[in-house]
Structure 1
Amino acid sequence: MKVERAVRETERTVWTGRRVLVAQAAVLAGLTVLLLVKEVPGMLREIKIYRMTGGLRTARRHP
């Protein structure tokens, strides 16, 4: 019985490769979302500046 209990306890604490990959994917996804949320205001500002300067239409007016 003592051996079975020890085996069961160690099986619970062992991290399988799949669990490690899922944990890494979750961390990576969280960091990606955080970076995207942090950079959205700057991206919107750059888009507004691009539109104010004419965007792609300026190539037609200025050779």
Structure 2
Amino acid sequence: MKHVGADEAAKPLVSGRQVLIAQAALLTGLTLVLLVKEIPGMVRELKIYRMTGGLGSGHRYP
């Protein structure tokens, strides 16, 4: 039976930095997917906002 030294036994398969980079990439991807999915709704809300007159029409539309 071969003796395993401390250096060989303690090597992780994935480093902490790689895990953080993977998490950041996943979070960025999910954020972009959500943003792209919500764009039609944001455009619709912007059109409604423009039709009601925007900020300067507060006295006309209660």
TM-score norm. by structure 1 comes to 0.73
Q: Between the two proteins, what is the percent identity of the paired residues?
A: 64
SS at match of 1:56: helix
Runs of 4+ off more than 4 Å = 60-63
Give structure 1 stretches of 5+ with no counterpart.
Answer: none
Give runs of aligned pairs for residues 1-63 of structure 1, distance below 5 A.
7=8, 14-59=13-58, 61=60
Of Structure 1 and Structure 2, the greater helix share is in: 1
| More relative contact order, 1 or 2 (CA 8 Å, 6+ apart) | 2
CA RMSD of aligned residues (A): 2.3
Give structure 2 stretches of 5+ with no counterpart.
Answer: none
TM-score norm. by structure 2 comes to 0.75
State the Cα distance separating 1:60 from its structure 2 match: 5.2
Aligned residues: 56
Residue 31 to residue 62, structure 1, CA distance change in 2 (3 Å)? closer
